[in-house]
Structure 1
Amino acid sequence: MKFYAIGLMSGTSLDGLDICYATFEKHGSSWNFNILKAETIPYPADWENKLKSSFSLSAPELMELNSQYGFYLGEKIKIFISKNKIQKLDVIASHGHTVFHQPSKKFTTQIGDGRAIKLFNNFPVVYDFRSQDVLMGGNGAPLVPIGDSLLFSAYDSCLNLGGFSNISFIKNEKRLAFDICPVNIVLNKIAENFGEKYDNNGNIAKSGIVDQQILEKLDNLKFYIQKAPKSLGLEWVNENVFPLLENLKDENILATFTHHIANQIADIANYYSLKNILITGGGSFNGYLISLLKTKTKAEIIIPESDIINFKEALIFAFMGVLRINNEINILSSATGSSKDHCSGILV
């Protein structure tokens, strides 16, 4: 049976709203997919500012933004459906935008009310994929390993370079997954000081000087010796990373932190003897970072076609929506640390 789904993804790096329309077809225990249409809609300045400052809002203000953002998503999907003349659609699956993520305190918050999305689009909507997992003792992240397992099993490991880097791979017949380190949530913020949205190809980092003392402090942060599953949030970055960088010139921050990212990813690749790594997300276009990574690990680095690079996460959330409407497992406890595999997401 073939399912038609739309997936929405808004990452912590705030580079825009990813919308992916795809088909999914099950053959035995495996699934095939086909991306039909996909688009990234950049946030207008007012929405970028709203989302960037959302963590500092009062509770009533945040609840208001939750509704507003839900209507914003609903409107953008309606335009996307109309523009692409989409008639077949079984489910819309929305990740929402993460404001808070503190699984140790049993909560995570992704704004964008799915009920508001549905008011604009009369199709089943699935949203809030993470909260149930956190309540079950999990990290609520990473969630994409279910897609890595069922859609991208041809690769030894899958690495996403977005606001954070996260990886998934098979070990002892179980799919392990965890966040590795911050990526664009740091790089993009510093690039803004140069009037840029991001460090194009890593060119600014390449021009900077690596501060070896700061690099060593970054590489020795306690998170990196914690056992998986584990996940990161903006709160951790603000508390642990930015204070270490505040006395460096901006180009040297980019140089030092890009080396830090490469070190942390290579450490994981080498420790687990990964043969190949499929790399997706915006960081895939950072040529300097990719070149550093190639020098630090023997694993084959695979950069796929641009649709997979840009829309893999939105694609997998569409897939998670399909699994949800079929009441099939869409979150793996081996990846998140929850008490068991489960089917998550609020369906309206």
Structure 2
Amino acid sequence: MILTAVGLMSGTSLDGVDVAMIETDGKRIKAFGPSGYRPYTESERRVLLQALTEAAHLQQRDARPGILQEAERAVTVAHAEAMASFIAQNRITCEDIDIVGFHGQTVLHRPAERMTVQIGDAAALAKAIHIPVMHDFRAADVAAGGQGAPLVPVYHRALTASLERKGPIVVLNIGGVSNITYIDGDTLIACDTGPGNALLDDFMYRETGQRFDADGRMASQGKVDEAWIAQALNDPFFALPPPKSLDRNDFAKLILRDVSPPDGAATLTALTAAAIGRVVPLLPKRPRSWVVAGGGARNFTMMRMLRERLRPAPVEAAETLGWSTDAIEAQAFGFLAARGLKGLPLSYPATTGVPIPMTGGVIARP
């Protein structure tokens, strides 16, 4: 049965809420629907950044002490407003939507401790939008000993099924953290590769007041500190084979000091590209092609550096294939919600390290 699902995604870049509709049976994609976006306000983003800091001390995944309670309320309201705007702008009704996939905002991800925390009140959201909401997608995987991330590989596999090209194909998502999906016939492997935009965005905001390096213009004017990158890549994480995953702040200790904004932006952009390049020897075969989604696909300096690191394999932005660079993760969580409703696996041993294929998600009803 074909379901109409809407995915809601608020990623580690902390920029806002992406909304996307998809028609799917949980295995194949029948059609893409409209998409939308609701940015976080400056005050909401400040609260979320404070929540990231305070969440580091959490001992129970359902606890919401201090600023975390305020942050959860802000996340819930922002997602409810995003859905209300999406429904109104596209002239659809609640009855047109079978399920909403609500990722929530990750504030802590420590799979080694079997802890992953995504804030957002799914029950309140379901009541506000009058649609069933599937949430808490990562918990079952982590509780079973998996990394709980990345979860989008099954969606990437569905997307690449329509491409007429030889594998291996890698779908690379560059959000706050970068992750890959390696697809070669029946082989599906995934992992986080290292920092995505998070370090760069934080640096830009700290040094210039800008939220990100638009189009990679700042980085294009700077000089890369290759020695600093080589030292950063000595972290044991980069030598670990897939599957592996990260918390947004795992590399927050990598701070550039006494550096100009252009040189800092260039170096942090190059670090993301170099970390992605480091995963290639850990894969079964060298990829024949790369498809890049997420905010990093709009950074021309990032894309140039990736092409240099990953040659001779071509590197292209997802939009060149007719995919939505911005909405792809929201689409993925609509797809995962449909799979969860049908009890289909969301993760596999080679994507998250879970012992057996695992379904996941919890339903909150209006």
Q: Distance in 1 between matches of 2:217 and 2:75?
A: 34
**Residues 204-231 of structure 1: per-residue CA shift (max 9 Å, x gap):** 1121122222121022221101121111
The more displaced of 137-146 and 15-24 is: 15-24
Q: Which residue of 1 aligns with 2:33?
A: 36
Which stretch has the larger CA shift, 70-79 or 200-209? 70-79
Counterpart of 1:265 in structure 2 is 276
* Partner residue, 1:337: 353
Cα distance, 1:172 vs structure 2 = 8.4
Determine the structure 2 residue equivalent to 1:198: 212
Q: Give SS of 1:309's match.
A: coil
Aligned to 1:132: 140
Describe the SS at the equivalent of 2:251. helix
Query: Can you give the 5+ residue segments of structure 1 that lack an aligned partner in the other structure?
Result: none
Of 304, 309, 313, which residue of structure 1 is paired with 2:318? 304
Per the TM alignment, residue 110 of structure 1 is displaced from its structure 2 partner at its CA by 0.5
Q: Distance in 2 between matches of 1:248 and 1:101?
A: 30
CA distance in 2, matches of 1:202, 1:83: 32
Using the TM superposition, name which of 10-19 and 32-41 deviates more. 32-41
2:233 corresponds to which of 201, 205, 219: 219
Shift of 1:68: 4.4
Q: Does 1:229 align with 2:243?
A: yes
Whole-Å separation in 2 of the counterparts to 1:123 and 1:81: 12
What is the CA deviation profile of residues 122-145 of structure 1, one whole-angstrom value per residue up to 9, with x for unaligned ones?
Answer: 221101111111111011100001
1:339 positional shift: 1.5
Letter in 2 for 1:328: L
CA contact (8 A) 2:38 2:78 kept: no
Once the two structures are TM-superposed, the CA of residue 317 in structure 1 deviates from its matched residue by 0.4
Q: Which shifted more, 306-315 or 167-176?
A: 167-176
Equivalent position of 1:108 in the other structure: 116
Residue of structure 2 in register with 1:77 after alignment: 83
Distance in 1, Cα, partners of 2:65 & 2:279: 42
Corresponding residue of 2:61: none
Unaligned residue ranges in structure 2 (runs of 5+): 56-63
- Cα deviations by residue, 1:178-199 (Å, 9 ceiling, x for unpaired): 0011021011111222232211
Amino acid at match of 2:11: G
Q: What is the distance in 2 between the residues matched to 1:151 and 1:284?
A: 17
The aligned counterpart of 1:3 is: 3
What are the residue-to-residue correspondences of 1:152-171 with 2, within 5 Å? Answer: 152-153=160-161, 154=163, 156-170=169-183
CA shift, 1:89, in A, is 0.6
1:324·1:343 contact (CA, 8 Å) conserved in 2?
yes
**Alpha-carbon distance in 1 for matches of 2:156, 2:185:** 16
Decide which moves more: 41-50 or 265-274: 265-274
Greater shift, 177-186 or 290-299, is seen at 290-299
1:60 corresponds to which of 65, 68, 78: 65
Partner of 1:16: 16
Q: What is the RMSD computed on CA atoms of the aligned residues?
A: 2.0
Query: Structure 1 residues 277, 176: closer, same or farther in 2, change over 3 A?
Result: same
Q: Quick check: 253-262 or 177-186, which moved more?
A: 253-262
Q: State the distance in 2 between where 1:172 and 1:83 align.
A: 39
Establish whether residue 277 from structure 1 lines up as the match of residue 274 from structure 2.
Answer: no
- 1:345/1:293 CA distance change after superposition, 3 Å: same
- CA offset digits 1:77-129 (Å, max 9, x no partner): 12322332223111000111010111111101000111111111222110111
- Counterpart residue type for residue 253 of structure 1: G
- Name which of 261, 264, 268 aligns with 1:253: 264
> Normalising to structure 1: TM-score of the pair?
0.92
Change in 2 beyond 3 A, CA 1:108/1:331:
same
- The whole-number CA distance in structure 2 between the counterparts of 1:334 and 1:67 is 35
Shift of residue 4, structure 1, vs aligned partner: 0.5
Match of 2:189 in 1: 176
Amino acid at match of 1:17: V
Partners of 2:53 and 2:76 in 1: CA distance: 19
Tell me, yes or no, if the aligned pair for 2:73 and 2:120 is still in contact at 8 Å. Answer: yes
What amino acid does structure 2 have at the position aligned with 1:331? S
Task: Identify the residue that residue 208 of structure 1 maps to in structure 2.
Answer: 222
Question: What is the CA distance between 1:75 and its match in structure 2?
Answer: 3.3
TM-score by length of 2: 0.88
CA distance in 2, matches of 1:322, 1:131: 17
Aligned pair partner of 2:343 in 294, 307, 327: 327
